[in-house]
Amino acid sequence: MEHFIRIAFWIVTLSGCLLSLPIPENNIPLLRKHVKCPAEATFYTPSNVNEQCLTAALVCCEKELQTVANECNDTQNGTFIHLAQEYLTEVIENLEKKNGNVSITSTECACENWTENPFDVFLNKAESVLQQVYAAYSTSA
């Protein structure tokens, strides 16, 4: 009985602590804080994305994060960039599950069609695309 009470106590304590931890929506604030790029570095930046290009825009952001990894300095040896890439991969996979395996090869949605911008603008626009995804799919859920 004593072990049961001790186990119950730890379950309740740990559950309470874990539930109070904030879960970030995305890793963009971490990128802003921990990744520094040279002023001349530019990245394809999806903006004004129509709904049929949302997945392609996220794939573009994910690919551009690899360019960020090559051209910029992550204070944690690439950890924050890698976390952001994993996050985008998960969002893309969820979109593909929800929509079926949509084509991202449309020339209209090609990454190279978007303008190149500095890192801070890229992050702002990537965050806007993520918000657009959340808005589009939270209303259809």
Residue 48: burial class (beta carbons within 10 Å; 0-12, 13-18, 19+):
exposed
Q: Note whether residue 94 is domain-resident.
A: yes
Domain that residue 29 falls in:
25-139
Q: What is the pLDDT of residue 66?
A: 96
**Could you tell me if 110 and 56 are in contact, meaning their C-beta atoms sit under 8 angstroms apart?**
yes
Segment 43-80, tens digit of pLDDT: 999 999 988 899 999 999 999 999 999 999 999 888 99
Q: Note whether residue 113 is domain-resident.
A: yes
Q: Give the residue, 140 or 91, on which the prediction is more confident.
A: 91
Q: What does the radius of gyration of the chain's CA atoms come to, in whole angstroms?
A: 19
CATH of residue 100: 1.20.1250.70
Q: Note whether residue 13 is domain-resident.
A: no
Q: Note whether residue 114 is domain-resident.
A: yes
Domain count within the chain: 1
Q: Is the pTM of this model over 0.85?
A: no
In percent, the amount of the chain with pLDDT more than 90 equals 50
Find residue 57's DSSP bridge partners: none
Q: What is the pLDDT of residue 140?
A: 58
Q: What is the pLDDT of residue 21?
A: 28
How would DSSP label each residue in 120-139?
HHHHHHHHHHHHHHHHHHHH
Q: Note whether residue 2 is domain-resident.
A: no
Average pLDDT over residues 29-44: 94
Q: What is the pLDDT of residue 97?
A: 83
Segments of the chain assigned E as strands: 35-36, 43-44, 73-74, 116-117
Segment 91-135, tens digit of pLDDT: 898 888 877 655 566 788 899 999 999 999 999 999 999 999 888
Q: Note whether residue 98 is domain-resident.
A: yes
DSSP helix/strand/coil, 38: coil
Residue 13 pLDDT exceeds 60: no
Q: Note whether residue 70 is domain-resident.
A: yes
Q: How far apart are CA 30 and CA 25, in angstroms?
A: 11
Q: Note whether residue 4 is domain-resident.
A: no
